[in-house]
Structures are given as C-alpha cells and as structure tokens.
Structure 1
Amino acid sequence: MNTTTNTPVQLCLALLLLVLTTTLQARELRYAMGFPPGSDSDVAAQAYAKALSEYTDGELTVKIYPLSLLNFAETSAGLRDGIAQVGYVLAPYFPAEFPHMNLLAESSMMLQLIGDKVRGREGMAYVGAMAEYLFLHCPECHQEFAAQKQVFTSNAGSTPYGLTCTQPVTNQAELKGKRLRVAGSHWSRWAQHFGATPITMSSNEALEALNQGVVDCVIISAPELTNLGLIDAVTDITMAVPGGIFAGTGTTNVNLEVWRSLSEHERRAMIRAGAVMAAQIPYIYHQRQDDVLAKARDEYDARIHDASPELVAATRDFVREDLNTIVDYYKDKHGVERGQEMLDEFLPILERWVDLVQDIDSAEALAELYWKEAYSKVDVSRYGL
C-alpha cells in the first residue's frame, strides 16, 4: 500500500493555489457616484455593496468612488466607456438620451394631486411604481439605456422638492423675477409659469451658484441641504412648492459588457442588491427631512416659511395642465410617441404603490417590498442581453 506524505513546501504551495484561485474568482467593480463621501446616497451605496457581496458569497464586490471618479455630469459617458462598471446616473441630466424614463420622472408633480394619503411617503411610493414600470412595462427605456451601453438595475427617489433660497419666496409676487436652479423641464416650466427664470446646472455646482448670486434659489429636497452642503448658503426655505420628487435616477446602472459577462446568479444578485439600494435612499430621505430642516433653522438661522394658499392652489392647477404639456413636449422634442399611454398605465401603478408603502417602517421592509413586487419579476436570463 502506497501512501503520500505532503511536505511543508507542498502544503504551502497548495494553500497559495487555493488563495490565488479564490482571488481570481472574486471580481471587484468600480462604482462611481456624484455625491460626496458620507452623504445619504454614499451610505445607501455601502448597504448595496454589502448586500451584493452577501448575495454572491463574495464573488462580486464593488468599490465605491463618491465624487472622486466621476461627477454627475460625467457618469453616463464614463459608465458607457468603462471608466466605471457601475454608476449613479441622473437621467434628467441627459434628456435626449433617456426621454422615456424622463417623461415618467418629470410627471412626479402628479403627487401634488393624489391627496394626503401619500404625504410623508412620496419617494417610497414613486420609486416602487417607477421600478415596476421601468422593469416590466417600458421596452423603450431598456433600449435607451442599451444605446448608452448601460443596463438599469435600480432606481431611487427623493422627498418632495421645495424652494431653498437666499431670500424669502412664498408667493407669486416674490417668485417673479427670481433665478431658480432646476433639475428637470417640469420645474423649469413651473418657474416660467410664475415669472421666474429657470437655470439648469449640475447639483455639484449649486452651492457656488448660491454663494455667488448666480441663482436666488435651488429647487431641491431638504436632505440635499446637508448632502450637497447647501445649508451653508441657504437662508429661506419654502418646501410646499413646487413639489414633485427627483425620480429619474438609475442608482446602480451597470456597463452593458460587464452585465453580459455575468452569470445569471450574479445578475440576479445585482438586481436584488439594487432593491436594497432603491429602498435605502427614499427611506433615509423621509426619515431625515424634518431633522435637516430643524438643523437649518436652529443651527444656521434659516427661516422656514409656509407657501401662500394661493401659490399652492395655483401650483396644483399648473400640475394638471402640465401633465398634458409633458406628453406633447416629449413627443415634439424627443420623439416619444407613447407618452399619454405611458402615463395612463403608470397612474394606477402609482396609486397601488401608495397603498403598498403605508405600513413600511424600515428600509429593510421597503427593500423586501420592492423585491417582491417588482425587482424579483425581472427575467435575468433575458434582461439586458
């Protein structure tokens, strides 16, 4: 009977081979986002990275580059060109590239018309509805992302957008003539409707624009006051108008070639981790909104204003008309032929999601809801291929 005794050298070589094999099997993806370190979205990205590693047993990991590899204006092209393999893409920055997604995102002011049931849960409901529609009902959206060599794997949304300014803006008279930084054509039209001047720029430039007097207000959600440092410049805040949320976000878009190189198990894990990312942002934003406003008031002496009832009512009238304008705008400007059909399909989905999120009391519960009702229904054997 022959027996073999491994020498210490052989044992060391075997261990080294095992380590090398494990290392080669693991794959780290570069994830670029335009938010700075420590921001709410950076915290959400850490949860996404942890979930992806867990769901793949460490086979896939991501290294997060907050505001270091690519800024918001650079992310879509950088993801397309492989500078990053995962990217936080803000579709409204690229209206010609993602018109179908932007049509839905810019319809978010319809939340002003739904009623009190959605108050305090606007982002959670709209994000769920957007995910369901984008994944399952919008082939044009998939085609637009594919044209940019990207695959959509999760989304996010903010709390409602309001006026964060360097002077009081609470009524139509005070709005007239103001220069407002906007993040979408619907807010641009709202500004023009009330005699203000909309100015489009990256959110990374908003603080400097406020400090230099280039703009009088930034239309943005309350948590971004700390996420983007705007709290240092803002003196007057009116959150009741214009309303709507920022919903045109592909939070974890994946480079197309990278996506197609993954196994079905890995693709499913990325989408499941995407549900975690999607839940973190609106839940955190809703949890932090009141705290950020209190901090702006108590620590930075900002004044928190109510909008005049007349401005609130006039804004709702504007929203009703603008939903028709959005359809015409995207058809004429970007060739979206199915706009009215999309909105007709989307509204009942949104109303369903308003009901679904009523009892949500944690980001984990929201992630599970997103997974169950939308993300898990993606066929990874075909999606993005």
Structure 2
Amino acid sequence: MKMKTLARATLATLMSAGLLMAGQAQARQLTYAMGFPPNSDSDIAGQHFAETVSELTDGDLTVKVFALSLLNFAETPGGVRDGMADMGYVLTPYFPNQFPHMNLVAEASMLINLMDDSLRGREGYAYVGAMAEFVLLNCPDCLADMEKENQVMTSNAGSSPYGLTCTKPVTNREQLEGARLRVAGSHWSRWAQAFGATPVTLSSNEAAEALSQGVVDCVVISAPELTNLGLFEHVTDITMSIPGGIFAGTATTNMNRDTWQSLSESERQAILKAGSRLAAEIPYVYHDREQKVLARIRDERGAKLHEADPELLAEIRDFVRTDLERMAEFYRTERGVENSAEMLARFQEILEKWSGLVTEVDSHDELAQLYWDEVYSKIDVTTHGM
C-alpha cells in the first residue's frame, strides 16, 4: 500500500513538473531594440516597460531590451519591418518619406513657444499626450504609414524642451549667424536657416564626435541628452531658452506587424498598458532631470548657462507662426500629405486641450493614468494593427 501511495505521489509530482515545464515552454520573449546606450534614461524606461509587460501577463509574455546592441537608430525601422527585432524605438523624423503624416505634427512642436507660461516645466507632458491622441485615435493616415512599413504603433514619447548646447556662447542673432547646428528635425533646420545658421543633420549617435571634432558648434537637444548621448564632456555653453520645441517624433515601441497580430488580445492590451506608462515616464523623467543635469554640467565642467536675448525670443515666436503655414504647404506638395493644413488645425485643438489636462499632474503615475484614460484605453485591440 505504501508503495502504491508513493508511486501515486511520484506520478503527481512528475505531472505537476510537466505542467510547469509546459507552461514555461509557452512563455514568449519579445526582442526590443533601441538606439540609446545602456543605462540612459530611455533604456531605464524600456526596462520598466519590460517589467510591466511581464507583470501584466503573469510572465507569459516577456521583453528583452537591447540598448544600442541589436539596432542603432538608423537601422531600427528596417529591422522592425523585417523582423530582426519584434519592436523598436523608432525616431520618425529620421525617415521623412516613410512617416510623413506623423512627422507633420511632430514638426509642429515649436508651438510650445507660443503657449502660456503656466505650461512651463510640463511642455513634454502636454505634447506627448496630444501626439498620442492625434496619431492613435484621430489619424488613420499616420497608422497607414506604419502599416506600409510592416509596423504597428503601440506607444509614443517626447522630450523636455530643446536648447542650444554648444562649444561657444550663442545667445543672440549675431552669434547665431554662421553657427553650425546639429538639428534633429526639419523645423529646427528651417529655424536655423532663417536666423543665418547652418543646420547639420546627424544621427544622435554621432553628435558627441561631431562636437569634439568641431564639425558642429552646437547640438540642438534637450538637457538630459547631455548625459544620455555622451555630450557632457564636450559642451561649454548652454542656452536652453532657444530654439524651443521638443522632439516628439518618437514611436517608442513600434511593433513588427506580424508579431503584433500573433499576440492574444490580452497580450496586446498589456503592451498598450505598459506603453502608456513608458509614454509617461520618458517626458516625466526628462523634465525632472533637466535642472539637475544643467546644474551638474555647470558645477563639474564649468559650463556657462546663458539666457537668450529677448529680441531674439520675440523673433523666434514670429518665426513659429509663419512656419506653420510653410510646413503645411511643404508637406502637401513634397510629402503627399493632402490634408496637411486641416491636420495641423485639428492637432492644435488637441494640444490646447492637453495643455489644460496636465496642469495638475505631479507624478509619473498621475501622468501615466491620464494617458491611459484619455488615449490608450480607447484603442480597440481587435482592430488596431490587424
């Protein structure tokens, strides 16, 4: 009898072990490529995204983040399209022909220069929320651009405001004239040309070398990127009040469409939920770290922090107003965005709404919940990207 009881116990143990192994075998790991280096703010946010996906799916779906090891920024869209990675951190302004509709509203980010001072310190919160609502819920052409690249957009993000990080003082129009500026978008390129500077287009991964070798005088970037992109050692003069605008063309977790369609509805929902938290973490951290990074580079490196000339600030606001019309016309004639003016008008309405929504936000959790309630929870996983 004891032998039979022992045999039954052993069989039960083996069956339990077999079921556990079967459950483990069913667990799936997705690969996530991003061009930021390890331990950068975006890499840390990506690791948090992976943890959230695992928690929401009880470990059935996991994500492995490859920070600047699987694909760099220039390689990411093609790599996600072709399945080299299941998802990637796609910077759409680097690819103007592939993502014209999203890039149109991303390029309008200098609109924050025209907004009320009450938005100061929360510019990224508002713009990221407005971008998410517009692209994911109000712009089928934006999503169609993604589909052509065999991708599905599942979250977005943006930075804190962009300023001039330089190897010489640049605070007024005279100092701007002739300066070589590394820019990360066509709107900043047009701004540079309008004020007599020379825009230089380089990948973020090349910015530090360009500064150190004198290829450029300034990098137009947000303050936290001084550490994220290795610019800290090369910058001596900073003017954060110009040109303004944020980098908003970030499709943070664009997923290979075949991979997305192979997920269950609950797994897609988990990706979106985790994506809403990632979308909030990046602008929240960027704003939070801005003053800390500026204080550190001032104290440790002796960099000088400047304020822009008031006359230049006024001229830049005038530039922004007229540039919106030029932008709409350019995208209509050169990028095939037929309804560009209507898109910008609609986006400005949404941005105005978000400028009010974020005024009371004081934590990452509050911002993530706001993004989820207003945008991500409204995405139908049975049809999105299918």
Establish whether TM, by shorter chain, passes 0.5: yes
Find the counterpart in structure 1 of residue 124 from structure 2: 123
Instruction: Note the C-alpha offset of 1:93.
Output: 0.5
**Which one-letter code corresponds to 2:217 in the other structure?**
D
- Mean alpha-carbon deviation: is it higher for 346-355 or for 8-17? 8-17
Find the counterpart in structure 2 of residue 311 from structure 1: 312
**Does 1:226 pair with 2:227?**
yes
Find the counterpart in structure 2 of residue 197 from structure 1: 198
User: What is the TM-score with the length of structure 2 in the denominator?
Assistant: 0.97
SS at match of 1:181: strand
SS at match of 1:105: helix
User: What is the TM-score with the length of structure 1 in the denominator?
Assistant: 0.97
Q: Describe the superposition over 1:316-369 as per-residue Cα deviations: whole angstroms up to 9, x where unpaired.
A: 110001011110111121100111111111112111111111111111111111
SS at match of 1:319: helix
**Does 1:64 pair with 2:65?**
yes
Instruction: Note the C-alpha offset of 1:4.
Output: 6.6
Distance in 1, Cα, partners of 2:117 & 2:227: 27
SS at match of 1:62: strand
Instruction: Note the C-alpha offset of 1:236.
Output: 0.4
Find the counterpart in structure 2 of residue 184 from structure 1: 185
Unaligned runs of 5+ in 2: none
CA RMSD of aligned residues (A): 1.2
Find the counterpart in structure 1 of residue 216 from structure 2: 215
Unaligned runs of 5+ in 1: none
Distance in 1, Cα, partners of 2:60 & 2:364: 25
Distance in 2, Cα, partners of 1:264 & 1:132: 21
SS at match of 1:71: coil
Instruction: Note the C-alpha offset of 1:199.
Output: 0.6
Distance in 2, Cα, partners of 1:239 & 1:175: 14
**Does 1:384 pair with 2:385?**
yes
Find the counterpart in structure 1 of residue 26 from structure 2: 25
**Which one-letter code corresponds to 1:67 in the other structure?**
L
Instruction: Note the C-alpha offset of 1:57.
Output: 1.4
Find the counterpart in structure 1 of residue 369 from structure 2: 368
Count of residues paired in the alignment = 383
Instruction: Note the C-alpha offset of 1:263.
Output: 1.0
SS at match of 1:88: strand
Distance in 2, Cα, partners of 1:325 & 1:121: 27
Distance in 1, Cα, partners of 2:17 & 2:208: 51
SS at match of 1:258: helix
- Counting only pairs closer than 5 Å after superposition, residues 168-317 of structure 1 correspond to structure 2 as 168-317=169-318
Distance in 2, Cα, partners of 1:55 & 1:193: 49
Find the counterpart in structure 2 of residue 149 from structure 1: 150
Change (3 A) 1:4 1:148: farther
Instruction: Note the C-alpha offset of 1:20.
Output: 2.1
Q: Describe the superposition over 1:176-233 as per-residue Cα deviations: whole angstroms up to 9, x where unpaired.
A: 1111000000000000001111010100000000000000100000000011110110
Q: Describe the superposition over 1:71-115 as per-residue Cα deviations: whole angstroms up to 9, x where unpaired.
A: 111111011111110100000010000000000000000111112
